[in-house]
Structure 1
């Protein structure tokens, strides 16, 4: 939990169950600073939600309350927690199954199948493995058809040859595969002939070949979000408080959204509302946010809202892959890639 040197603000919001389509069902909500970029499910969240399900299905609501942090218990006494959970169970029954979908402001989001319907349960766990945030809201499935691939022609967002560290459709190839909105994402680094990403001892960002390299717009579009000012990390020490770091969200003419993250601090050269051309410099590669070394995170999604988005598989128009020119290709882990015209 982030407090920025002060106590977190807590608000109790309890709504009747017949208003579920209009309001969020909330036990308590802990305001946390910073924006969280969905990543793989943490072991702490996984265990906490497993225990929550076990106690909930056994109607051991006192055991759930026992998982709360002291601040959470102060915010919501046992009587209110007990009443809420009884109402939830009366309306929806036991939990049958669940799937981790994303992170949102330090909350792990689980799409949860009850006996009588589906809900999203959001749970935040502190460093002591105690629950300090928990709320429930309706699950609204995506009804529109999501493209399986991009319709906008895409070019590589950099000059020179880079290496795909994560990329592909399986968890073995791509750690992003299990998260809905970034399931087809790439993490891309620069490496030398020995496949090392840094020179010297790798203790400074300047040791990394990717650091300070220009990041280019992969297509024409409009800047929807541009975040700058987040400091670069010391290599090996990530910043989980603002996971994307300095980042850009770009909307294409075909209403596809391109997300680029981990720019160098104060290097972004565009702002919200700017119209950009393919090949235009957006900023410099950095090591900001939840990043252990300088690299570029790149993915496409179908809408601008990260929590409602579905990832779109990205195919680049014409690139050289491991020395061979490929048309309409989506790179995978280990590929060394460069825009074909740069050879």
Structure 2
């Protein structure tokens, strides 16, 4: 499971580490507390491992939990003592877990995920604990946070006024897109309520090789296009592209462009490659004009394009707006006007 960008990272008050990109390098531990059995289904295995790791963490046995951490998790945490410190932080802020309300096991992009919703003694709302496992049972993602809720919006019935085209050529995958949290983790953010993340895939993978280098990613350097006629109202360029395994939470959108589409609609396109932007504030662009190239700047775990509409010219202000695109192909079928959904393969029609 990958969180491709964390434009709302300030909301992750108790985040230990975002699930990391698949294919990162590093030494893997070979032992597993629950070795896979052929008679045990993937769901049963994931539930068992998630329950076990949750119990160990809650009991304060963070040394055993550390032994199950993958290399990127260990690098992000720094040391076993930091994991122990996080357990203390959780206890100080939330108290102790009092009851499990719900739990689920699922597979997302090849990563097994255990999700646990529970009540805690010092917090009024439900808390979500999530563990992500690789094939060897090593932990590649873990966080504890208040359970996310879909952001309220008065724009659910809004119809996009601008005639939008997809902001790229060729076929891309909708990594996050839709109106539910299951389809789109952005949906908990008021400003990004209807946002999209797009990647390119070849043979079901967003990268070649082990994905350790930016150049391994199929969308790296791809042209990003203006989705409609617009005026450029803001440009940020010159920020470095983050090496895989690092992020820049201080500049979450990285290199980006804000476009005024008219009639109160503004489009944000984010995570451009450093020094690739070909527009400046005040420029007029036509639909399909090249804005820059896909990169990995900002708070992002791998190269991709983040796109959303909002009703304010200032990033982080205002409310998100639905983005209906025109004349595209989704999973091989023509769409005259629609909202792309998670996991769909989309491309402009007639190109």
TM-score normalised by the shorter chain: which range applies? Answer: 0.5 to 0.7
Check if 1:151 corresponds to 2:121. no
Tell me the distance in 2 between the aligned counterparts of 1:159 and 1:143: 31
Deviations, residues 309-328 of structure 1 (Å, cap 9, x unaligned): 11111111111000010111
Deviation at 1:280, TM superposition (A): 0.4
Match of 1:262 in 2: 271
Tell me the distance in 2 between the aligned counterparts of 1:285 and 1:223: 18
Deviation at 1:53, TM superposition (A): 11
Tell me the distance in 1 between the aligned counterparts of 2:12 and 2:92: 14
Q: Provide the aligned length of Structure 1 versus Structure 2.
A: 223
Radius of gyration: which is bigger? 1
Normalized against structure 2, the TM-score is what?
A: 0.58
Selected match of 1:326 from 313, 335, 347 = 335
Selected match of 1:316 from 295, 317, 325 = 325
Check if 1:337 corresponds to 2:346. yes
Normalized against structure 1, the TM-score is what?
A: 0.59
Tell me the distance in 2 between the aligned counterparts of 1:154 and 1:50: 48
Deviation at 1:305, TM superposition (A): 2.8
The alignment's C-alpha RMSD in Å is: 3.0
Tell me the distance in 2 between the aligned counterparts of 1:289 and 1:334: 23
Task: Show the 5 A alignment for 1:286-301.
Answer: 286-301=295-310
Deviation at 1:147, TM superposition (A): 6.6
- Is the contact between residue 9 and residue 249 of structure 2 (CA under 8 Å) also seen in structure 1? no
Deviations, residues 162-195 of structure 1 (Å, cap 9, x unaligned): 0010011111111100000001000100001x21
Match of 1:215 in 2: 224
Deviation at 1:242, TM superposition (A): 0.9
Selected match of 2:189 from 179, 186, 209 = 179
**Aligned-partner SS, 2:14:** helix
Tell me the distance in 1 between the aligned counterparts of 2:347 and 2:153: 37
Tell me the distance in 2 between the aligned counterparts of 1:258 and 1:50: 41
Selected match of 2:14 from 38, 44, 49 = 44
Check if 1:252 corresponds to 2:261. yes
Aligned pair in 2 of structure 1 residues 250, 195: CA closer, same or farther (>3 Å)?
Answer: same
Unmatched 5+ stretches in structure 1: 1-35, 55-96, 99-141
- Is the contact between residue 40 and residue 175 of structure 1 (CA under 8 Å) also seen in structure 2? no
Aligned pair in 2 of structure 1 residues 333, 202: CA closer, same or farther (>3 Å)?
Answer: same
**Aligned-partner SS, 1:176:** helix
Aligned pair in 2 of structure 1 residues 145, 295: CA closer, same or farther (>3 Å)?
Answer: closer
**Aligned-partner SS, 2:182:** coil
Match of 1:127 in 2: none
Tell me the distance in 2 between the aligned counterparts of 1:213 and 1:250: 19
Tell me the distance in 2 between the aligned counterparts of 1:204 and 1:279: 29
Tell me the distance in 1 between the aligned counterparts of 2:254 and 2:187: 21
Task: Show the 5 A alignment for 1:12-27.
Answer: none
Aligned pair in 2 of structure 1 residues 144, 185: CA closer, same or farther (>3 Å)?
Answer: closer
Aligned pair in 2 of structure 1 residues 303, 265: CA closer, same or farther (>3 Å)?
Answer: same
Aligned pair in 2 of structure 1 residues 252, 147: CA closer, same or farther (>3 Å)?
Answer: farther
Match of 2:77 in 1: none
- Is the contact between residue 156 and residue 322 of structure 2 (CA under 8 Å) also seen in structure 1? no
Tell me the distance in 1 between the aligned counterparts of 2:288 and 2:280: 16
Match of 1:88 in 2: none
Deviation at 1:251, TM superposition (A): 0.3
- Is the contact between residue 244 and residue 288 of structure 1 (CA under 8 Å) also seen in structure 2? yes
**Aligned-partner SS, 2:186:** helix
Match of 1:169 in 2: 179
Tell me the distance in 1 between the aligned counterparts of 2:230 and 2:300: 26
